[in-house]
Structure 1
Amino acid sequence: MKTISAVVTGIFLFLISVSAHAQQNNTSAIEPYRLAIAYSKTTNIIFPYAILSVDRGSKDVLAQKAKGVENILQVKAAKEDFTQTNLTVVTTDGKLSSFIVDFAQQPSVLNLSLLPQESRNTIAIASESVNRQEIENCAKQVSLSEKKVRGGRDRKFGIRLKLDGIFINDGVMYLRMNIANSTHINYDIDQLRFYIRDQKKAKRTATQELEITPILIHNQTDNIKGYTDHSIVLAVPKFTIPDRKYLAIQLMEKNGGRHLELAVKNRTIVKAIPVE
């Protein structure tokens, strides 16, 4: 009986070994690209297809799609001499591209193309940016509309940021922002940016963040004078927000500390009003 048991055990272990070997043969590693980025220079990565999502290994890496272009990712360092990290990009052809990212004062490569040789410099213009005049006309209508979708507000040191209108027309979404200054100190705008972000996670998990780049900005300004307010309409490609994510709207003051941020959830985005 012991001999039979030993034989059965041996056969069982052999089958497990064969199965594991077969599984190993069916898997393959995705070799990452090496990427060196700087603090004061922007590196451009050109992909064969439109970018679907971007995942940064740490916040030391800044990444955004080039304005009005679907297949170019612009990358730079958020600080100097950061610890090695990684970057993962998924494109609309279902392909995953992985990068090991290091800091370099003077990167040897600033423009990296993953396209085939024959189309090395091809860019994919966002379809929403084709009829720019129509988008401008819609943005003007939105700026004058009395209809509202309240998307929240943030107030700090006499500055108020408010999302008071979300509109939609032919694949383009229009976000109407109002900035009010209730102080005597002029507010100089450094950045007004939009990100789709993960909700709060443990510190050791990767940060997934995708910046939404406006197609067009109507009534743009870089200064809000004391005791005035100003409305801006930003046209962006239409989007909704996946579960456990939110839209972060950041307003940053140039050479100042009055920074504001709104967190907008999907239940607000889906209330977008059609542009008449």
Structure 2
Amino acid sequence: MKKLIFFLLLLLAGFNLMAQQDGGTYRAQLPEITMDSTSSLHIISPEPIRYVDISSHAVAGDLPEENVLRLKWVPDSTGNLSSGADNLGVVTVIGQTFIAQYQLLSAAATPGSKLAASYDILPQHIRPLHLPVEISTPQLRSHALSLLARRNPSAIRTAKQYGISAELNHVYTLGDLILLDITYHNSTNLGYDIDELRFKIEDKKITKATNVQSVEIRPIWQLYPIGSFKRSYRNIYVLKKATFPASKILSVELSEKQISGRTIILKIKYRDILEADNF
């Protein structure tokens, strides 16, 4: 009798272990989002969206912004919906560090005032992903804002031309990333409309007899978008780690939209990057 009881306990423990190892996420467990056919639904992600899957052809989606998913019923599909709530499938959203899934429901008979126009992806709705991401956008933003909050010492590098001055305030490294804190000042009465900002590795000294070798580097992220400024403009730029010899410099070229077309170049030495602080 004792052997039988022991065997039953072992069998029960085995079933419990199998149940605990079930890694499935079932549709009945997914949070629900109800849509109607009269307006779009916007799903807002806390970080840029990398991938979206919509399991039903009844719903179309696009990304008007990097962290916003817009969903709408396909017009031909709405005629087949009955009154009440119908299953429109599952939408899967993958960000830089998470995956979130929702069950989409149609509600032809639900008053529009009771339906959400936008839906935030909440922490309790996400599962972490171990993707090869050096650092997420929210983390970059946090570090960039912390740089802006710090007291400015004397500028590391400066440049001045046409009444526009450029200052390199800080250089920080974060893993394989380089963060540049740059401020521009306008001492003229003419506002500055930024055309573009270019980062290039160039020869330190250029003569007519030499061939100029220039390699452009594009920032992978910046805190604020390019715009215009009347008196001052400060921004944080993030570059991938790059190495270059002492005979080269990192050139930061700010150019203005025509007709004025004022251009100023800030030259950063490799030593400035080697001596950078880190987070």
TM-score if structure 2 supplies the norm length?
0.48
TM-score if structure 1 supplies the norm length?
0.49
**Which of the pair has the greater relative contact order for Cα pairs under 8 Å at 6+ separation?**
1
For the pair shown, which has the larger CA radius of gyration, 1 or 2? 2
